[in-house]
Structures are given as structure tokens and as C-alpha cells.
Structure 1
């Protein structure tokens, strides 16, 4: 058996406990931030999925997407401190002839609508990008409104799944941006 004693080897260990703690806190905060961003991403995915469902409970009237452009323009961009971290727009619905234009229009509109908000810590922008989306809703059909109202519920569920402690956060719907 061989035993090596640091003192006898002339090795001196000097630590700066404040720097060690600061480094550990930074790594922990980075991990927590990643989980929060993932919760936002999943909640936005839930909301977009909800918006695209062809039949839902209740009396919500659902539009019939002829070409798939409106469904394909429905999606989101998620930003962290100004950097795009996730974008979701997928061609679907209708006869398929509008998938490409729907996806590109949705991406463009999400980019435009987030331009003054995306520098915030976390910014998610969910859109139905086709120019006629509001007109479809004005006729009594749901395009995105029901999903917008469900988003806080989806986000709360995703955050609870990650952190468990519902007292650590409060989610309310607001018109302030």
C-alpha cells in the first residue's frame, strides 16, 4: 500500500469559496433556465395543437381549411434574450396546396410580431399568419382565440411537471406586453 500525503509532497490547495459557489449557482441557473424554456416550448406546442384540432369539446365552431394555408400558418416562435431558440410551423390540413405559403407566411408574421418583444428574457409569439385569419374568427369560427385562452393552463401544467411547486410561480393572462 502506498499513501501520498499532500503536505509532504509540497502541494497546497487554495480555494476561493465565493467563486466556487458563484460557478455552481451559474450552472444551476442555466439548467433551470433550460427547463423553463422547454416548458414554454411544450406549452406553445400544446396550444398550437389545440388550435389545429378539428374537433374540440364545447360549442367552438371550427373552420374548414380548404388548402391548408391557415392551419399551416398557425405556429410559434420562441426567443431567449433576442435569440430564436425554437420555431414551429408545419404544413398540414386541407388539400395541401397552401402548405408552403402558410408556413412561410406564419414564420414571417411571427418574426414581425415579435420584433419589439423578443429582447425580453423569454418571449413566445403564437400566430395564425394568414391575412384572413381575423375575418374567419369574425364569422364565428375559432382559429387561435381558444388556444390563446388555454395557453396559461398549458404553461402552468408544464411548469408544474418540471418544478412541482406551484407556489414558485403565478400565471395570469394579461394584455400587457
Structure 2
């Protein structure tokens, strides 16, 4: 009887923790979009690169939240999602096929957003 009550209590605590962690990942995803748009160090003549930045939060492979999904980034996100069937995952992408090229030239596309996300999550959950 006590064991059953403990299991219920532990399940509730686990559920609350997962819910809070998921919400924090969503907040970080939104901040990544803002960071990459505001601090991209390149000239975005068409607006396509900045508008292609998106995020998805997955819990055991199921989308919990997503931001700015569009035709430029959807396929890339789907490929990455397939690699993470378990756990809580934040995926942030720049959907234009030349994003990596721009980063390789020394411009900030997603690098500052990635660094920011890592720092926030390390502070919250440790290394």
C-alpha cells in the first residue's frame, strides 16, 4: 500500500519536472530565434536566412512545441528529429542551404544562439 502511494508520488514529481524542463526548453528555443535574428553578423539581403531560423522541442520523439517552422527549414528539422527518438531535445536550425557556408566564412548565424542555449541549460541542469 505504501509502495503504491510512493510510486504515485514519484510519478507526479517526475511529471512536474518534465513539464518544467520542457517549458524551459521552449523558452530557450524562442530565445535562440531572437538571438540569431538580432545578432546575426551577416548582411541578409533577401531576409531568407534570418527568417529560416526555427526550433522544435521533442519529448520522446513527440513535438511539444515549435517556432517559425516554414518551407525552408521543415525538411532539415525532420531529418534531425529522426535521430532523437528518446528524451527531451531542443533542435534549432537555420533552414537555408547556405547557412553553414556563411558560418564558415566567420559570420554569426547560429553560433551565438547555440552558445547561449548551452549556457542557459548548463546553469539549470549542470553539464
Aligned position for 2:8: 23
- Of 26-35 and 142-151, more deviation after overlay is shown by 142-151
Aligned position for 2:47: 68
Structure with larger RCO (C-alpha < 8 A, sep 6+): 2
- Give the CA deviation at 1:88: 0.8
Larger Rg: 1
For residue 107 of structure 2, give the secondary structure of its aligned residue in structure 1: coil
For residue 55 of structure 2, give the secondary structure of its aligned residue in structure 1: strand
- Provide structure 2 residue ranges, at least 5 long, that are not aligned to the other structure: none
Instruction: Give aligned pairs, total.
Output: 127
- Provide structure 1 residue ranges, at least 5 long, that are not aligned to the other structure: 1-15, 55-60, 91-102, 160-168, 172-177
The structure richer in strand per residue is: 2
Please give the alpha-carbon distance, in whole angstroms, between the structure 1 residues aligned to 2:47 and 2:11: 45
TM-score of the superposition, structure 2-length normalised?
0.88
Please give the alpha-carbon distance, in whole angstroms, between the structure 2 residues aligned to 1:107 and 1:89: 10
Please give the alpha-carbon distance, in whole angstroms, between the structure 2 residues aligned to 1:113 and 1:20: 39
Please give the alpha-carbon distance, in whole angstroms, between the structure 2 residues aligned to 1:84 and 1:152: 20
Moved beyond 4 Å, runs of 4+: none
For residue 105 of structure 1, give the secondary structure of its aligned residue in structure 2: coil
The structure richer in helix per residue is: 2
Please give the alpha-carbon distance, in whole angstroms, between the structure 2 residues aligned to 1:109 and 1:147: 18
| 1:150 maps to 2:116 | yes
Aligned position for 1:51: 36
RMSD of aligned C-alpha atoms? 1.8
| 1:123 maps to 2:89 | yes
